Structure 1
Amino acid sequence: MRVLILTAGLGTRLRPHTYSKPKPLLSVAGKPVLAHIIDDLLDVQIDELICVTGYLGDQIERYVREQYTMPMRFLVQTEMRGQADAVYLAKDVQGPMLVVFGDGLVGIDKEHLNAHPEAGVIYCQEVEDPSRFGVAVVEGERITRLVEKPTTPVSNLAVVGFYYVPEAQRLMEAISYMMEHQIQTKGEYYLADALQIMIDRGERFRAEVVPMWRDCGTFEALLDTNRYLLAHGHSRSEPVVQSMIIPPVHLGPGVQVEHAVIGPNVSLGAGAVVRNAVISDSIINAGTTVNGVVLTGSVVGEKANVTGTVYELNIGDAATISL
């Protein structure tokens, strides 16, 4: 099976971090989002990994080539014309294909995928507010309609950015038809529109509800995903000096922690240095130094320096001090 991962987005909602690094390479629980996606698919028989890159795509290609050994190639989306346009760059692919959005983590049934089912699968999760998502309308076990951000409730099954297509060429034919007839949503070619064409032509897709879906497309979502992963098996420890560790945390290789309180829900990247600080619910990336501050709900990039002041105070009763 071919696995096609879409990684070309600009990541504007994650600036300033995405000024220097593409969104899929931002770290949660000790490694990039893209690494979590690929590692979770290693149980699937991958004949070829295809990454569609764009903005800062050379970083993505370099990282994947350094970390993985399966057959792979990289296609560049030079114009941001939508998800379906990105998929169409792989128009030569034949046979079963998994299409994955590169900005979220999804738990799927990989044994079922290895059986190469004849029907397509659109992975979904039940949500309370479907108006924020593209949703799948289901009759029996079959998807009949895909609706983008419905203003009136039609389904609570949000589409999570994972799609299994039993024959890639039929998807490419649908995208080609879209482009020929200029079928666009908000000026872009959406994958949902191509899948709807396939459904209207009689292609069978079923909705599979996933047990886990974590978006990584915003600052808040990145921290929420970090919290989730740390609580579900991605914590890691290292020796510390006169410090308190409040689990769960991920301390990368070579971190130095001295006279600090770390946690809960903190990831420290490899080689990070933390002294005289209190950090909770935060991501501190590799090579960064944090000294003399209190941080919570924070994301700090690589090789940064965050320095505050450590006070020695001798304060009497009923005093009010602002620092």
Structure 2
Amino acid sequence: MKVVIPLAGLGTRLRPHTHTRPKPLVTVAGKPIVGHILDQFKGLDVEEYIFIVGHLGEQIRDYIESQYNLPKTSYFVQKELKGQSHAIWLARERLGGPIIIIYSDTIAEADLSDLDSVDADGIFFVKEVEDPRRFGVAQVEGGYVKRLIEKPTTMENKLAVIGLYYIKDSGWLLECIEEQMKREIKLKDEYYLADAFQIMIERGARFIPRTVEVWKDCGKPETLLDTNRYLLEKNGSQFPETEGSIIITPVHIAPTARITRSIIGPYVSIADNVVIEESIIRDSIINEGARIERAVLAFSLIGSNATFQGTCQQLNVGDSSQVRMKTEEEIVSL
């Protein structure tokens, strides 16, 4: 079995952080998103990992090759963002047999232990949601997926497709992607995988839905922070000794971070070489090399090597930013 991970999206909803790093390398709970995705496949017999990268893709390759000892890796560059099906098509020379496809912002707890014994052509992993109108949903009849509906206008079908798929015959999928592209079946100039799957279904493919209990999204600041909270609760806390500070778990603080006279937590991730002095921080992600002094922060994302001084409530600043708030004394003197 092979694992295919499309990673070429620009991550515009996570800017400014994705100006200087690809979205899969944005940190959550002490590790880049793609690291958490790869961790989901520990213990599985995976023959090869296939990555489709785009903007700043060399950073993704460097991270994976330095941090993971995977059995075999292949990388393909999606120079034109023509959609999910196009991304899979680029890797066609490496495909054959069963594959797992997972999107770059999907963190889920899914049962992958019995894939080789499934009596179907594949599995679409789904989760019931309160409001399905923001998602693609699976219409199920007789135990099989009969139709995929993108952003339905009604509320009766609540099985959202989470972006994790098992396909027993990837060659068949490629045939249907080729048919999709020949017929120009696309939306806003992008070829969506749902349309290729629909062609497979029309040709007789049997896909079963499998519900997951946990599905977390990393595509927006608010969902990234929610995922950070979940992973910190799940994985437990890690933090070094601090100087005159209070740590409220769960947190993840890198060993090289220096915390003095501060209150940190709950739900804070702090990367290597961060310096925090006389500050109160909760529900935030602080990236490597950042420096924060005399601040009150919550629900914030702080980029690498950013500097922040002064009081605030919420920040979303990118790499190498510098923010300095005036003190009360300075304001009075104006």
The TM-score, its normalising length taken from structure 2, stands at 0.91
Structure 2: gaps of 5 or more residues = 312-324
**1:182 and 2:191 matched:** no
CA deviations over 1:41-86 (Å, ceiling 9, x no partner): 1221110000000111111111111112220010000101111100
Match of 1:239 in 2: 241
Q: Which amino acid aligns with 2:60?
A: I
Check the 8 A contact 1:96/1:116 in 2, yes or no. Answer: no
SS for the counterpart of 2:228 is helix
State the shift of 1:115 in Å. Answer: 4.5
**1:75 and 2:79 matched:** no
- Once residues 244 and 118 of structure 2 are traced to their aligned partners in structure 1, the CA distance between those partners, rounded to angstroms, is 54
Match of 1:146 in 2: 148
State the shift of 1:235 in Å. Answer: 2.3
- Once residues 30 and 255 of structure 1 are traced to their aligned partners in structure 2, the CA distance between those partners, rounded to angstroms, is 12
SS for the counterpart of 2:92 is coil
SS for the counterpart of 2:176 is helix
Where does 1:45-124 land on structure 2 (aligned, <5 Å)?
A: 45-70=45-70, 71-92=72-93, 93-113=95-115, 115=117, 118-124=120-126
Runs (4 or more) in structure 1 with deviation over 2 Å come to 113-119, 308-313
State the shift of 1:154 in Å. Answer: 4.7
Among candidates 274, 277, 285, match of residue 272 of structure 1: 274
Q: Which amino acid aligns with 2:76?
A: L
SS for the counterpart of 1:194 is helix
- Once residues 253 and 123 of structure 1 are traced to their aligned partners in structure 2, the CA distance between those partners, rounded to angstroms, is 37
Check the 8 A contact 1:45/1:114 in 2, yes or no. Answer: no
- Once residues 149 and 250 of structure 2 are traced to their aligned partners in structure 1, the CA distance between those partners, rounded to angstroms, is 38
- Once residues 166 and 110 of structure 1 are traced to their aligned partners in structure 2, the CA distance between those partners, rounded to angstroms, is 13
- Once residues 326 and 55 of structure 2 are traced to their aligned partners in structure 1, the CA distance between those partners, rounded to angstroms, is 44
Match of 1:316 in 2: none
Q: How large is the RMSD of aligned CA atoms in angstroms? A: 2.1
Check the 8 A contact 1:29/1:234 in 2, yes or no. Answer: no
Match of 2:299 in 1: 297
Q: Which amino acid aligns with 2:281?
A: I
Structure 1: gaps of 5 or more residues = 314-320
SS for the counterpart of 1:182 is coil
Check the 8 A contact 1:137/1:154 in 2, yes or no. Answer: no
Q: Which amino acid aligns with 2:203?
A: R
Where does 1:277-292 land on structure 2 (aligned, <5 Å)?
A: 277-292=279-294
The TM-score, its normalising length taken from structure 1, stands at 0.94
CA deviations over 1:217-269 (Å, ceiling 9, x no partner): 00111111001111112421211111111111111121111100001110111
State the shift of 1:114 in Å. Answer: 5.4
Q: Which amino acid aligns with 2:247?
A: I
Aligned residues: 317
- Once residues 118 and 95 of structure 1 are traced to their aligned partners in structure 2, the CA distance between those partners, rounded to angstroms, is 14
Q: Which amino acid aligns with 1:287?
A: G
Check the 8 A contact 1:117/1:166 in 2, yes or no. Answer: no
Match of 1:14 in 2: 14
Match of 2:42 in 1: 42
- Once residues 19 and 257 of structure 2 are traced to their aligned partners in structure 1, the CA distance between those partners, rounded to angstroms, is 25
Match of 2:199 in 1: 197
Match of 1:260 in 2: 262
- Once residues 218 and 15 of structure 1 are traced to their aligned partners in structure 2, the CA distance between those partners, rounded to angstroms, is 9
SS for the counterpart of 1:152 is coil
- Once residues 312 and 201 of structure 1 are traced to their aligned partners in structure 2, the CA distance between those partners, rounded to angstroms, is 68
State the shift of 1:153 in Å. Answer: 3.1
CA deviations over 1:88-130 (Å, ceiling 9, x no partner): 1111311000001011201111212354664300011000100
CA deviations over 1:141-182 (Å, ceiling 9, x no partner): 211110000112351000000010001000000000001111
Q: In 2 relative to 1, CA 120–258 (structure 1 residues): closer, same or farther, beyond 3 Å?
A: same
SS for the counterpart of 1:214 is strand
Greater alpha carbon shift after TM alignment, 104-113 vs 50-59:
104-113
SS for the counterpart of 2:269 is strand
- Once residues 247 and 190 of structure 2 are traced to their aligned partners in structure 1, the CA distance between those partners, rounded to angstroms, is 47
- Once residues 107 and 114 of structure 1 are traced to their aligned partners in structure 2, the CA distance between those partners, rounded to angstroms, is 18
Q: In 2 relative to 1, CA 312–2 (structure 1 residues): closer, same or farther, beyond 3 Å?
A: closer
CA deviations over 1:189-237 (Å, ceiling 9, x no partner): 0000000110111111000001110000001111110011111124212
Match of 1:159 in 2: 161
- Once residues 122 and 145 of structure 2 are traced to their aligned partners in structure 1, the CA distance between those partners, rounded to angstroms, is 10
- Once residues 279 and 53 of structure 1 are traced to their aligned partners in structure 2, the CA distance between those partners, rounded to angstroms, is 34
SS for the counterpart of 2:113 is helix
Match of 2:33 in 1: 33
